[in-house]
Structure 1
Amino acid sequence: MTVLSSTVDTGAPEFAANREALLGKIADLDAEHAKAVAGGGEKYVARHHARGKLLVRERIELLLDPGSYFLELSPLAAWGTDYTVGASVVCGIGVVEGVECLISGSDPTIRGGASNPYTLKKTLRANEIAMQNRLPVIGLTESGGADLPTQKDIFIPGGQMFRDLTRLSAAGIPSISLVFGNSTAGGAYVPGMSDYVVMIKERSKVFLAGPPLVKMATGEESDDEALGGADLHARQSGLADYYALDEQDAIRIGRRIVKRLNWRKQGPAPRPEYDEPRYDAEDLLGIVPTDLKVPFDPREVVARIVDGSDFDEFKPLYGASLVTGWARLHGYPVGVLANARGVLFSEEAQKAAQFIQLANRADTPLLFLQNTTGYMVGAEYERRGIIKHGAQMINAVSNSRVPHLTVTMGASYGAGNYGMCGRAYGPRFLFTWPSAKSAVMGPAQLAGVLSIVARQAAAARGQDYDDAADAQMRQYV
């Protein structure tokens, strides 16, 4: 056992300043997440409860095993847009009857649960996670379908939702639909393509076209219940596999379905017993600076997340700007790649490529802890082959077959983002520190490049350069 030794001084002013700054950023994110939790607001929440209905998060809470965790995914989707934070849908991984499941529930208090472009993106990402990790999918459905004003952004890519359901089924991954209200138009295909469908008496309504459209298209007079009520689908069409008396009954049936799946996770089991990290995870608040220009030792982060703080470092004296080594997370073996000094040189790129190949040979998942400004530039480094060596690292990441987890702790700039398994390289999960940033280049580098280009352009035109405007631009960036 090689236990990491921590040198963090939790009483230092720098630690306190980092902690205070990060807590401030977390509070800002919590305030935005509170908007997602609030749904459509007090008026629509009260109306929903008055109808005897549970809120989407209440449904999820009843569905989950008591006392178990729920890992919410993409909780801030649509933040900064004209749509409600959270994108009108709650997605996450939770434990139902001892089985880890991907749970997705539309929020009917927001425009009747209608899907906007961000709802679609969030749901498609959730389906991708379910496929990659072989998680049974449980959909809590109550939605009016596509948000018609945004149909041009939804219609074509929206077909992927139905494609995903069929591919999950073909891969042997169960899908379960609990229909709590309307599921109309294209949304009707969600229960239609699910393996198990639960509908609720006098609540569930599933049809391709509602009464107004049916009357316009065929002249037929009808109502919701006659067109697609739970009784019709349970007794006549056969779409409903289970008939529930109320929402609580539907959730109880959903849990029973999961229990009867006899689902088993694939791959080797983790160690049944493992040690917690020897250092307090709360220390992470003060270890990672919010000023991305300030370096820190990633081993201090590793010591607070891996089992027993036990870490066998690989090539510790070579390519020191990248820390690599072997550890365990919750009993599972894992290989760690963590940026130590921001810049990646040829040595770090070659070290990473070799380490990734070894992890694949041992079938060991990889954890990438990003804090990089990219690959080193300059004439000397070009001569030493930085392009070739950086390409080798990116090639290794691209063709790695083991699961990847990525955490952006600080900066994630340029091709360094690619080499450290950024979003484009398909990590199973990507988590981001509240103070982290990703971009083509850092703000200081961006300002410098823009300044140089502008000066050269002014000189070519025989004009004076506006130094005051340059200083203002640098300050803004």
Structure 2
Amino acid sequence: MPLSSAFASYAAATPLGAASVLHQPYTPARVSVESANAAVLAKLHADLAAARLGGGSKAVMRHRSRSKLLPRERIDAILDEGSPFLELSPLAGYDLYGEEAVPAGGLVTGIANDATVKGGTYYPITVKKHLRLQEVAAACRLPCLYLVDSGGANLPRQAEVFPDRDHFGRIFYNQARMSAAGLPQLAVVLGSCTAGGAYMPAMADESVIVAGNGTIFLAGPPLVKAAMDSSSKGGAKVRGAADPRAILARILDGSKFDEFKANYGRTLVTGFGRMYGQSVGVVANAGVLRSDAALKGSHFIQLCCQRGVPLLFLQDINGFMVGRTAEAGGIAKDGAKMVMAVACASVPKVTVIVGGSYGAGNYGMSGRAYSPSFLYMWPTARIGVMGGEQAAGVLAQVEAEKHKRDAGSSHGPAAPSRAWGPQQAAAFKQAMTEKYE
């Protein structure tokens, strides 16, 4: 069909109004482009201003009462006078979680946690924003400065934050890889940094802690209390733990295993064996990771990389040891060393989760975020920021504090909905245990 005939057929089949809509002349009745753009820009500026307010007036007042600057004030104080600062993704988290506001994703990327937004904890969008900045920094070979004031992963959303490749653990993987590539990783601890929040300064090349405000805990007081309580109810003495050597006897050629440092760091079993004739280095859990076990694991992983021996990880771990003694003994630093060794390993890694895989233990044992060549899960496998009992204990303490704070801020007697006693606490813990197990 000739081109002119095709146009004629189209014109005949198209209503006059539809065919001529692109040719309508400008009239005052039509909305002007300028006013439409002005309205959109006004809303954008209003949304940006709202995001800069952080977690709201109450959270900001509580933050300032601790003699702490807001994140953008911290950045302004650090930058050279008059130098520009490009904030990436300032509207991340905008209207993303319904009534649960997370302005700017709780993170100012350059990088500074906003503790006025959910205690600086990491929502899915926070993780995405942080990873995006690290991607930009790695591509442009820029050093990273982390202004840390964070409670780690957001516990109620751990399924969206913790287990997968581009989740929370990938932040520390990237941090280790960039440091190894010669890109400085610097951290300033400006508040209470717990769990994942503690690993950013622990894995940095250099860290500064602000006296009076800065703290680093692998586990804050609520988790330590919950861990101690659950240990007495369902710890190793009650439930027992599988001996990884029994598993190795069934999967290694001839059940032969040459153990490395058998009498040191006994909660981690390391050594050499063969599978289908191929030499492998085995890293297997035999309990919670303590400082000596983490150092042993780091040494062994680096030795395998030096010799070109692939690594097999058998995960069954509740995490790194918590408590005053462990923290004073340097568990954060020693655990970070093992995580860094795993992240920078240059040999193939295969991970098998045979039992629990909780918290930073998942990172130190080559979880999904640490790019194992393969990751397998037995039917008994469980993954989470922490075990169900510990999660329930932590959230129950947080909920009790929230009710106490709400009751203290109310005028007159507390409303019935604010009542919180042993019965409510027990019911809440039961519901949370069932949710997270």
Q: Same fold (TM over 0.5)?
A: no
**TM-score scaled by length of structure 2:** 0.44
Higher fraction of helix: 2
Higher fraction of strand: 1
**TM-score scaled by length of structure 1:** 0.41
